[in-house]
Amino acid sequence: MTEASRGSMELKVERRWTVSNVLSLSRVILAVPIVLLILQPGNQYRLWVIVLMLLSAATDFFDGLLARALNQVTDFGRLLDPIADKICIIAISAALVIVGDAPLWYAGLVALRDILIVAGSVLIINRRKVVVQSVWAGKWTVASIAAFLLVATLREESLAILKTVLLYLSTAGLFISLGVYVSIYRKYMAENRAA
């Protein structure tokens, strides 16, 4: 197995609707009420937003755990899980920008990074027929973005410093994780040319 092939599996036909994949899909569904409640005026629905965001985070934790525990790790799940994360994060970031709780440049960077990663993954699937697994830099970045979005949703003045720290910490993660993925994709493309 070559270096670029580590952390990936060959693409194959398999059963798609496992328990873990349903959990991943539920994360996308949860994004709808989260966004709608964020867009409501005032703060009366913010507690519900936090509850739904924590529930969404729980599905992200348990989908991978159950996939491994039930021996249901699938290529479809490897694709669905990060795509569900990206849809939720982009939607919630956009909603927080609209209500003035997150900067536009930040939501733009989040969306751009996610679009580039998905485009790279699709290219590798088409060229090499393999699914690139999530890397720790990406998982750490998603966690830091989620933490920022959660704190931004709270609208607590006492958390202003924490919000700023998480904003710039997750921004650094956006660039670092994108660099890691670009490096992985380049290795796959180099192998493709050599093959």
pLDDT tens-digit series, residues 29-69: 999 999 999 999 888 888 999 999 999 989 888 877 777 78
Query: Buried b vs exposed e over 17-54: b needs ≥16 C-beta within 10 Å?
Result: ebebbebbbebbebbeebbebbeeeeeebbeebeebbe
pLDDT digits (tens, 9 = 90+) for 74-89: 777 777 888 888 999 9
Across-strand partners of 8?
132
On whether the 8-194 domain is CATH 2.60.40, my answer is: no
| pLDDT band, residue 71 (cuts 50/70/90) | confident
* pLDDT score of 132: 76
Domain ranges of the chain: 8-194
